[in-house]
Amino acid sequence: MQEADFQRIVHFIREHHLLTLSTVHNNRPYSCSAFYSFNAQEVCFIVASDMTTQHIRNVRHNSSVAVNIALETDEVGKIQGVQCHGSMAQLDQETLKRDYFKAFPYARVMRPVLWKITIEWMKLTDNRLGFGTKIIWKRALSE
């Protein structure tokens, strides 16, 4: 993948702040919305969530997750969205915690548990580049 394509995906992600997170446990899917920060160097999302939520209970059994971020539009020529999959674990990196609280300073007072979603694969659909145009990114095996 060319760097310009990766940066196009990153640009779209950074224009938004809310993702849909999908988890599964015992063959039962579950989806929720979450505010996020994004780290392009590590290609990961940071989200906050309580240990008692259904999606976190699912992640504790199965760390595989899917993510969706979509631009809401009625115009087919403007459709844009990112779909991803990867794994989710409780966050222990202070620099990524600081990034999240910089994006959402009010969250600090709630003392949330932060989670890192490490992305393995991403697809940007961007109809502005031509109907059905897709850009795909995959994590290198050595990462």
Q: Is the pTM of this model over 0.75?
A: yes
Q: Are 18 and 6 in contact (CB under 8 A)?
A: no
Class of 3-138 per CATH?
A: mainly beta
pLDDT digits (tens, 9 = 90+) for 96-130: 999 999 999 999 898 899 999 999 999 998 877 77
Q: 80-98: per-residue pLDDT in tens?
A: 899 999 999 999 999 999 9
d(CA 76, CA 128): 9
| Mean of all residue pLDDT scores within the chain | 92
* pLDDT at residue 73 tops 70: yes
Contacts of 33 (CB under 8 A, 6+ apart): 18, 19, 20, 21
| Number of Cβ within a 10 Å radius of residue 89 | 12
pLDDT tens-digit map of 25-39: 999 999 999 999 999
- Work out the average pLDDT over 9-29: 96
Name residues whose C-beta falls within 8 Å of residue 104's C-beta, 6 or more positions apart in sequence: 35, 37, 48
